Amino acid sequence: MTVANAEPKTSSVLSLCTNPWPSALAPMQDVTGLPFMGVIAECGSPDFYFTEFFRVYPNSKLDPEILSSITRNPSGKPIFAQLIGESIPNLDRIARELQQFSIAGVDLNMGCPAPRVYKKNVGGGLLKDSRKIELILKSLRREVKSLLTVKMRIGFEDDRNFEDILSILNDCEVDLLSLHTRTVLGGYRTDPDHEYVARAVERLDCPVLLNGNVTSAKVAYSLKCQTGAAGVMIGRSAIRNPWIFRQIREMQLGMPVFEPRMNDLYKYVQNLFVALGKPEMDDRRIVGRIKKFLNFVGLSVCPEGKFLHQMRRSSTPAELFRICEKFMISEGLAFQKLNLEPFDSLLARPSQESVES
């Protein structure tokens, strides 16, 4: 990887951050809503939040549940409202509506790798059409009076449009790029190539947040230094270790870095369970909901994948918490340090605990 020597670009985005450099919670659909934001805020907030995406299409309305993460933001930190869509008049319309609320800016999703999304030529599907991206961003730039930001991957199936899109981001005066360094078709299985962040830092007039396999505070610091990124955006690793933003801040300030124990992790799971529950949900649905999170938490619990295997087969809260107690509390485990990096060979896929399985 080429070491980027350039200083991070200054902008009004970075002026929103009171720390030496910013960290951000990545937007993850059906995950990073208001309940999870509240749990993360208790563990240590990032500098920036991004909402789950507002789906934009003719006659679409603002999703009230996603909107609550703006109107009831528990952290007081800047929050960006993310849009996904390709209809320019409707993207403009929703951007205008969102600016009536207390947001730091509007973010365009150009990276979602879900096939049901990109097959509609939105999210990551936009990366196949540079001209469409240019038309969307030019129009949004006229409508968005606050900050206009973009989250994208390096390309759809390859990087053929990468340089052209960087030029478009400059021409449209985008205020911040969050760059996930995989292709859309690469999903989450391929290795990220952070060299693309260094290339973006060199080309763009705006700051760049590095996204993709930022697994710990140490890795965040190392990748920032290597690429010249202005900061980091973290998604799945923040589910696994909700103290990661606190640890980054403590590392930045030269303070002792918090080392969570397994009993801290157990309390985190308890807090997640309470936060994710809704009055209309029965126990089975709540257990199913929290399993989405525990698929990532489990990557730091048991190196053999036994926690993942047993957790995924639980069906009641009592059964689920018996398994959590077994692997996090019982037999002296409570005061064991949490493994800050995921164990090798474990997978967060619901059907597999490890590469071997």
pTM of the model: 0.93
Residue 124 lies in a domain: yes
Lowest mean pLDDT among 184-188, 230-234, 319-323: 184-188
Do 309 and 214 share a structural domain?
Answer: no
Residue 165 lies in a domain: yes
Mark whether 302 is an active-site residue.
Answer: no
Please write the tens of the pLDDT for every residue from 319-336: 999 999 999 999 999 999
Question: 3-state SS string over the chain?
Answer: CCCCCCCCCCCCCHHHCCCCCCEEECCCCCCCCHHHHHHHHHHCCCCEEECCCEECCCCCCCCHHHHHHHHCCCCCCCEEEEEECCCHHHHHHHHHHHCCCCCCEEEEEECCCCHHHHCCCCHHHHHHCHHHHHHHHHHHHHHCCCEEEEEEEEECCCCCCHHHHHHHHHHCCCCEEEEEEEECCCCCCCCCCCHHHHHHHHHCCCCEEEECCCCCHHHHHHHHHHHCCCEEEECHHHHHCCCHHHHHHHHHCCCCCCCCEHHHHHHHHHHHHHHHCCCCCCHHHHHHHHHHHHHHHHHHCCCCCHHHHHHHCCCCHHHHHHHHHHHHCCCCHHHCECCCCCCCCECCCCCCCECCC
Do 286 and 202 share a structural domain?
Answer: no
pLDDT at 357 over 50: no
Do 288 and 154 share a structural domain?
Answer: no
Residue 153 lies in a domain: yes
Do 287 and 183 share a structural domain?
Answer: no
Domain, as residue range, for 273: 262-335
Residue 6 lies in a domain: no
Do 203 and 65 share a structural domain?
Answer: yes
pLDDT at 3 over 50: no
Residue 74 lies in a domain: yes
- Computed over every residue of the chain, the mean pLDDT equals 93
Residue of 112, 206, 302, 324 marked active site: 112
Total number of domains constituting the chain: 2
Where does the pLDDT of residue 166 fall: very low under 50, low under 70, confident under 90, or very high at 90 and above? very high
Do 304 and 241 share a structural domain?
Answer: no
Do 185 and 314 share a structural domain?
Answer: no
pLDDT at 277: 87
Do 242 and 222 share a structural domain?
Answer: yes
- Say which amino acid occupies 173: E
Residue 302 lies in a domain: yes
Residue 89 lies in a domain: yes
Residue 112's CATH number: 3.20.20.70
Mean pLDDT of 11-26: 93
